[in-house]
């Protein structure tokens, strides 16, 4: 909540501006609403913009940036009915890492605070896979989040680990796991390595001993090196 409040303050300087967009999907009243005070924009309108394709707006990055506090708070609290992967994709399309430093830093602080809070709360408002996927795709990096998980040696973090393992080992999805609405991030190399090394022994699941996983891990570890997102 502290990080979210700081996000609100950082983005408070984002002033209203004339919003133009697809008039087939959004009428004049909708565009006028989006151009008005942030707190008066309806939740339904925020949700609509959050998932809409960028081409619907004359200035998509600016509109998404202005609405970011209204989008992120309900996402983090599990009250936003838009796919988490899609939120991550739209943020990348809005080039959030290139925003003014106070804005980008405040958003990154939310990712870190949300991740740590999730690991200390089980069950959490948002499933562990969705949280990990969103922050991984949004930041285009997985290993730092896994490293935080490694150092969080709590029963709640281990319970989340059991949930994630059960999720990604269903039909052995882990062998070719992509995160993101458009499968932007290939997570298998890093996640498999982490599960078979740093996280091994924290959760008992015999599926992790499957010979194919061991073989795949060996192939990936002996490959060309870094296993980042594609």
State the Cα–Cα distance between residues 128 and 29, nearest whole angstrom: 38
Each residue's pLDDT tens digit, 55-73: 999 999 999 999 999 999 9
225, pLDDT greater than 50: no
230, pLDDT greater than 80: no
pLDDT value for 222: 77
The verdict on whether omega for the bond into residue 123 sits within 30 degrees of 0, i.e. cis, is yes
State the Cα–Cα distance between residues 208 and 165, nearest whole angstrom: 9
Across the range 202-225, mean pLDDT stands at 82
Mean of per-residue pLDDT scores for the chain: 94
> Model pTM greater than 0.85?
yes
State the Cα–Cα distance between residues 58 and 64, nearest whole angstrom: 11
Each residue's pLDDT tens digit, 82-101: 999 999 999 999 999 999 99
pLDDT value for 21: 94
3-state secondary structure of 179: strand
pLDDT confidence band for 112 (50 / 70 / 90): very high
Yes or no: say if 133 and 88 are a contact pair by the CB < 8 Å rule. Answer: yes
pLDDT confidence band for 202 (50 / 70 / 90): very high
| Both tokens assigned to 47 | 């949700």
Yes or no: say if 158 and 122 are a contact pair by the CB < 8 Å rule. Answer: no
pLDDT confidence band for 226 (50 / 70 / 90): very low
Sorted by sequence, the CB contacts under 8 Å of residue 130 that are 6+ apart come out as 84, 85
* 212 CA to centre of own chain: 29
| Closest among 105, 32, 121, 31 to 68, alpha carbons compared | 105
3-state secondary structure of 185: strand
Q: Which residues pair with 185 in a beta bridge?
A: 179
| Both tokens assigned to 78 | 């599990």
Q: How many CB atoms lie within 10 A of CB 52?
A: 19
49, pLDDT greater than 90: yes
224, pLDDT greater than 60: no
- Looking at 140-184, list the stretches that DSSP marks H as alpha helix, in order from N- to C-terminal side: 143-151, 155-168
30, pLDDT greater than 80: yes
Yes or no: say if 88 and 181 are a contact pair by the CB < 8 Å rule. Answer: yes
């Amino acid at each position: 909540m502290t990080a979210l409040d700081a996000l609100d303050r950082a983005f408070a300087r984002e002033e209203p501006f004339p919003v133009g967009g697809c008039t087939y999907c959004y009428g004049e009243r909708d565009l006028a609403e989006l151009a008005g005070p942030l707190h008066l924009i309806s939740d339904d309108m925020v949700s609509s913009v959050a998932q809409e394709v960028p081409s619907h707006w004359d200035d998509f990055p600016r509109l998404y940036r202005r609405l970011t506090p209204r989008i992120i708070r309900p996402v983090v609290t599990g009250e936003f009915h838009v796919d988490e992967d899609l939120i991550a994709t739209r943020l990348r399309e809005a080039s959030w890492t290139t925003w003014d430093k106070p804005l980008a830093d405040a958003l990154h602080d939310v990712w870190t605070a949300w991740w740590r809070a999730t690991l200390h709360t089980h069950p959490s408002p948002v499933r562990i896979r969705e949280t990990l996927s969103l922050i991984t795709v949004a930041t285009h990096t997985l290993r730092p989040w896994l490293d935080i998980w490694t150092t969080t040696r709590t029963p709640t973090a281990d319970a989340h680990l059991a949930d994630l393992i059960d999720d990604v080992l269903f039909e052995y999805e882990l062998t070719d796991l992509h995160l993101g609405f458009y499968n932007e991030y290939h997570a298998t190399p890093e996640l498999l390595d982490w599960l078979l090394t740093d996280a091994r022994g924290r959760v008992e699941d015999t599926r992790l001993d499957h010979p194919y996983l061991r073989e795949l891990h060996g192939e990936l570890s002996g490959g060309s090196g870094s296993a980042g997102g594609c």
